[in-house]
């Protein structure tokens, strides 16, 4: 009888030990799976962080490249805005007088051969006297407008046909150069190499030097 009881106890203990071992294995497996899950989550987060960092760097580089293009474009636009009348010019010949002029033929003869210059920083002066040519307009403002023959007469009492000046389209561009103190001059643009200086009731052709 005692042997049967001992045998039963041994069977129960053995079964209990097996059950405990299985639970430990299951716990270890669950712990392992949890660790793998956490590791995968961390890897995904690290990957997302690296990707976000990479995107930020790419975006920054793209912005730098775009700004570089804009700056280049701006410089190109600025160069294109250089006025075609900028440069050095020489008084070549008299083209005509207005109805009333402040200059005599002798005065005009003195003007022929003189040099004139126009740029963003300065402009030669030409008003109603020879002395005005000694002045220089600083940082002048250049104002343009389109004139026809009627405008030439109404504004300057110049009775000349534009065709006589070599202008075929019936209009001419006037440029007024003037600084803050009022110094400056007025001229017309005939073409890239020819200007017509207007002042004191006389028109004088300027050729590019």
Q: What is the pLDDT of residues 17-56, one digit of tens each?
A: 444 444 444 544 544 554 554 455 455 555 555 555 555 5
> What's the domain count of the chain?
2
Tell me how crowded residue 83 is: count the other CB atoms within 10 A of its CB.
Answer: 13
Q: 98 pLDDT band (50/70/90 cuts)? A: confident
- Residue where one domain finishes, among candidates 27, 58, 81: 81
The reply to whether 24 and 67 lie within a common domain is yes
Joined together, the tokens standing for residue 11 give 């069977």
The reply to whether 193 and 172 lie within a common domain is yes
21 lies in which domain range? 1-81
What is the per-residue pLDDT for 18?
41
The reply to whether 77 and 2 lie within a common domain is yes
* pTM > 0.75: yes or no: no
The reply to whether 22 and 68 lie within a common domain is yes
């Amino acid at each position: 009888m005692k042997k049967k009881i001992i045998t039963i106890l041994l069977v129960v203990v053995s079964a209990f030990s097996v059950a405990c071992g299985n639970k430990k294995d299951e716990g270890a497996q669950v712990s392992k799976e949890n660790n793998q899950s956490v590791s995968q989550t961390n890897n995904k987060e690290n990957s997302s962080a690296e990707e976000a960092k990479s995107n930020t760097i790419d975006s920054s580089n793209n912005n730098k490249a775009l700004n570089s293009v804009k700056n280049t474009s701006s410089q190109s636009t600025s160069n294109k805005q250089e006025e075609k009348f900028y440069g050095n010019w020489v008084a070549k010949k008299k083209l005509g007088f207005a109805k009333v002029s402040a200059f005599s033929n002798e005065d005009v003869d003195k003007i022929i051969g003189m040099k004139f210059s126009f740029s963003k920083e300065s402009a030669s002066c030409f008003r109603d006297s020879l002395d005005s040519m000694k002045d220089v307009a600083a940082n002048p403002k250049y104002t343009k407008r389109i004139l026809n023959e009627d405008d030439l007469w109404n504004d300057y009492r110049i009775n000349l046909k534009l065709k006589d000046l070599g202008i075929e389209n019936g209009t001419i561009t006037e440029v007024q150069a003037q600084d803050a103190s009022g110094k400056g001059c007025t001229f017309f643009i005939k073409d890239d190499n020819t200007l017509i200086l207007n002042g004191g009731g006389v028109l004088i052709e300027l050729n590019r030097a």
